[in-house]
Structure formats: C-alpha cells, structure tokens
Structure 1
Amino acid sequence: MFLDPSWRILTVGDGDLSFSHAIARHIKPTKLVASTYDDANTIEQKYANNALSALQQLNVTTLTEFDVTKPDSWLRLVDARFDVVIFQFPLIPAFKGEAAFKANTQQGGMNVLNRALLHRYLDYASQFALDKNGPMLCYITSKDVKPYREWNIEGSLNQGLNCHYLGQMPFDINLFPGYKIRNVDRDKHVKDTSGITYVFSEKTDNNITAKLTLPAYLGDKHCALCRVGPYMAQEDENKHLLSKKHKQMEKFEQDWQAWLAQNNEE
C-alpha cells in the first residue's frame, strides 16, 4: 500500500485503531483522522490492546460510532476534506441467532451485505470526505481468500457510481508496525493473510496508477468472476461456465444486481 506523507488521510472501520496508530507513527501524514464503528466503551472492553488513548495522546482526531453506511456519520466530518479514505479488511459481523440473520438478509445473503457495505463506502466517501481538488482515492484492503474474493470488488462493486476502479497493489503489513488485523467482534488478531489494496477514484487520470496493476483475470480468455484462466481452448471455457464454482459466482452476481435495482443505484 502506497501512502504519501503529504496526503490528508481518513481511516474508517479501524476496529482497535491500531492501523491508524501505525499510520500516525510511521507515515506521519499531513493530516490524519481515525474512525471506528464501535463506541469508546466497547473498544476498551472488546480490545485489551487498543490504540484509542495512544491516538488521543498524539492529538489525532478519533471518531467513534462512525457507520460508513450512514450519511449522518460522514456529515460529522463537517468541512474536513481528504486525499484518501482507507477501509481495511471490511467484513459484516455474523448475526446472533437465526431470526437476526433472516431479518438482515432479506435482500440477499452475506455476500450481498458485504458488497453493499463497500458500495456505500465508495459512494459516501466520494460525496462527503474527498477533496475534489485532490486525487480522490478510496482504498479497500481485503484478503485474497474466500469469502472476500467472492465480492467482485474490482468488477461490479462500483456499478452506478462515479467512482472508478483504477487497479490494485499488495498490502504489506510489515510497513505498519503494531497493526493487528482483528477478527470482527473478537479480541483476536488473524494471521497475516495475503492482502490486496483495491484503489478507486472519480479521477481516472491519476498519478497513483503508475503504482498499480490490473490482474490478468480481467483480460481476455479469463473468467473475471472466478479469477480463472487463461483458457487454452473453447472447450475449457465451456467446461468452466458449467462448473459448480461458476454457477455459485453467477448466483452471487445475480443477487447483487437485484440489490442494486431494488436500491435504485444501478
């Protein structure tokens, strides 16, 4: 992940705030605002080694109870504007009980809910947080394993938005000493799974593109949904399109298109 120290940076969904603290200590950006979904008491109770007080000691503005899916949260930024907004390893937490699960998945399963979370993040970050005179970057860092790679982040996630997928770059946790990738809702951190930072912006003519790559599976003779290819022959493609894996990915995509249509965001 590339971060320019001259940038104004906003982090969102930073559970224990250790990522924001690592940025403050090791990147030392011009401006940093950190935010997290939980309230201060929950952070202290959930994460024994959180960075809330450490950020306060560094005079870093920290916003708790910041929900990226709610415009009211973004409006708390008032007139603050940023060059990049970063969402690290987003994931909707599991619902407690069958009733809660059914109530929250009426418009699709967990795959759709996670896509909707990121779709709204891209939308609201562009609307409310990014400076129109800057690079207007949205970063999403995610794991390169299931179920995360099934969200089609580089495909239809931004459909209906003015925010374009520019490319991606590897995320190296070693550049952020002290950062712990947390399990959602638990005071445990996960092993350093391979991470990819996907980069979006309303501006396609962007200096950051020189540091990004486009994966081969977005090219010809590949299946971008399943990230497979290249096909050696038409027979290979036909076989893949009939596979269980591809059928499942098609169903995820159909559910996502239905969500977009129902929410008037297509």
Structure 2
Amino acid sequence: MGKHKLKNSKHRKYHDSIHAKHAPKKPFAAQQPPPKPTPRPQKSTKQPQHSRPEIPFEPHDRILLIGEGDFSFATSLLTHHGCADLTATCFDSAEELGRKYPQAAGHIAALEAAGMSMLYGVDATKLDKRKEIKRERWDRVVFNFPHVGGKTRDVNRQVRYNQELLVAFFRAALPLLVPDGTIIVTLFEGEPYTLWNIRDLARHVGLRVGRSFRFSADAYPGYKHARTLGNIEGDGGWKGEERPARTYVFEKAEEGGQTREPDGKKRRRDEDSDEDSDG
C-alpha cells in the first residue's frame, strides 16, 4: 500500500514536470510607459488687483502736516486712522483759508473738538521760524502735493521753482525729526512732476528714499485734494484725488551710504535702491 502511493506520487511529479514543459507560454505583458510627472504649479506673476493700500502712519506717531489746504487729510487721519497727536498747518492765514476753501470750516471744527493743533501762515521753507514747531521733535513730517502755484507758465521755470521749494522744505524739516523719524512727500505721477527729480533733491540734503508706493486717496475717507489756488468754479468736476500719485518716505542718510534702524543699528543700502510697491 505504501509503495503504491509512493509510485503514484513520483508519477504525478513526472507528469506535472512534462505538462509544465510543453504548456503554452503566457505572453509577456506589454511594458507600460512610466507615468508622466505631475507638472509643478506655476507661480503667478500678476499683482493682486485689490492689494491693501500702504499707510505710513501709526496712531502713536507725532505728526506734523505741512500745506494742509482745507484740512480734509488731517481730519481723515484723526477720524479713520486714530492719529491723535497731530499738528496741521497751512500756508494761508485763517481769513484767506476761509475764502479759498469754504469747506475747511467743518474740518477745522472736528480737529478743534478733538484737541488737535492748527497753525496758519506757516511757510514750509521756514519751519524754524515757528516756535510751536521748532520746540518739538516729530516722528513724521508730511507734505502732500507740494506746489508753488501758478507763478509762471514756463515749464522750466516752474520746475525750478518747485525744486527750490522742496530743497528748502527738506532742509527745514530734517532737524525736526526724532532719530528714526521720516519725511513723507506725495506727488502726482508723470510730467512735470517727474522732472523735479525728488530723489536727487533729497539726496543732496542728506536724505534717501526708504520706500515709495502708490498713493491711494480711498485709504483716507473724506479726503479731497485742494488746489493751491483754492476752489475753482466751472473746472469740469476736476478731482485731484483720482489722479495717479506716489508717496515717498525719506529717511536720514548716514555717512558711507548707511541708514539707521529704529533700534539704533546701522545697515548699508545702495543709495539708489528703495522698496517700490504698487500696492
């Protein structure tokens, strides 16, 4: 009985080996191409269409505003940005201001009610002549849309007059700053304003552009651009706050092309490079 099982077992092994030898071979599976790598997402080079506008002020800053016109900008800083240490100045006397900008009365009332200071008859080129200004040190000295007015129709002379205004203003404002203070100037873009070469003017006085960015009037609710000559009837609804403009933030320049950080440390920068933002 045992021998029969053994014989059958050997027979089955032999039969299986012969069957495997002559069995039809399975075709090889077609080689599949390697999977294509997943493409990496491309970074968009487009700027965000609705980026947040830059505001170069903090609520705790001591701010001196020059050439305020109808005081709408000062009122917006107080009301919408919480800036409660403001001194707003204008070139005109109080009487002349009322004649040129009747709308100023409401802004003045709001500033007075909040305890803000207003000064009349302040020349941007002679800030040291006013003891209320000279005795203080300021975090921000601001001159929005400086312009000498319509002295001449000759473009070259007009450019020169405005360059002289800016240089004299820079020289008058620089000694008034705290160590890490800044001077902020906003100009319309395009000619003739680009002909003023504001960066070079500031460099000659001992300042450099720390950064610049697009000015957004919408960031200052209630602000309306006031012309140097005052309101003009029949001007076709001209709104200066809708024109493209740029804000320049000037820092004190140190010797050797260095600027000083708020913590007192020095850093070296290329004097012709600044952080430009279109936000």
Q: Distance in 2 between matches of 1:152 and 1:87?
A: 16
Whether contact under 8 Å (1:123, 1:163) holds in the other structure is: no
1:180 aligns with 2:224: yes
Structure 1 residue corresponding to 2:243, chosen from 187, 193, 198: 193
Q: Which runs of 5+ in 1 are unaligned?
A: 96-100, 216-266
1:112 aligns with 2:167: no
Spell out, residue by residue over 1:94-123, the C-alpha distance to the aligned partner (whole angstroms, 9 max, x if none): 13xxxxx59xx9xx7111110111111111
Q: Distance in 2 between matches of 1:72 and 1:7?
A: 21
1:130 aligns with 2:177: yes
Cα offset for 1:165? 2.1
Q: Distance in 2 between matches of 1:192 and 1:144?
A: 12
Whether contact under 8 Å (2:60, 2:83) holds in the other structure is: yes
Cα offset for 1:76? 3.4
Q: Distance in 1 between matches of 2:191 and 2:205?
A: 25
The residue correspondences of 1:8-27 to structure 2 (distance < 5 A) are 8-27=62-81
Q: 1:8 to 1:48 in 2, by over 3 A?
A: same
Whether contact under 8 Å (1:137, 1:199) holds in the other structure is: yes
Q: Distance in 2 between matches of 1:175 and 1:92?
A: 26
Q: Distance in 1 between matches of 2:230 and 2:61?
A: 32
Spell out, residue by residue over 1:198-238, the C-alpha distance to the aligned partner (whole angstroms, 9 max, x if none): 1111152346x9xx6248xxxxxxxxxxxxxxxxxxxxxxx
Aligned to 1:66: 122
SS at match of 2:187: strand
SS at match of 2:225: coil
Amino acid at match of 1:151: W
Whether contact under 8 Å (1:74, 1:124) holds in the other structure is: no
Amino acid at match of 1:110: Q
Cα offset for 1:146? 1.5
Count of matched residue positions in the alignment of Structure 1 and Structure 2: 199
The residue correspondences of 1:1-266 to structure 2 (distance < 5 A) are 1-50=55-104, 51-95=107-151, 101=152, 109-127=157-175, 129-132=176-179, 135-154=180-199, 156-188=200-232, 189-202=239-252, 204-206=259-261, 213-214=275-276
Amino acid at match of 1:158: A
Deviates most, 197-206 or 35-44: 197-206
Q: Distance in 2 between matches of 1:205 and 1:214?
A: 19
Q: Distance in 1 between matches of 2:58 and 2:241?
A: 27
For normalisation by structure 1, the TM-score amounts to 0.68
Percent identity reads 26
Q: Distance in 2 between matches of 1:202 and 1:75?
A: 23
Question: Which is strand-richer, 1 or 2?
Answer: 2
For normalisation by structure 2, the TM-score amounts to 0.65
Spell out, residue by residue over 1:37-94, the C-alpha distance to the aligned partner (whole angstroms, 9 max, x if none): 1111111111121122221122110011010112444543142211011100111111
Aligned to 2:51: none
Aligned to 1:257: none
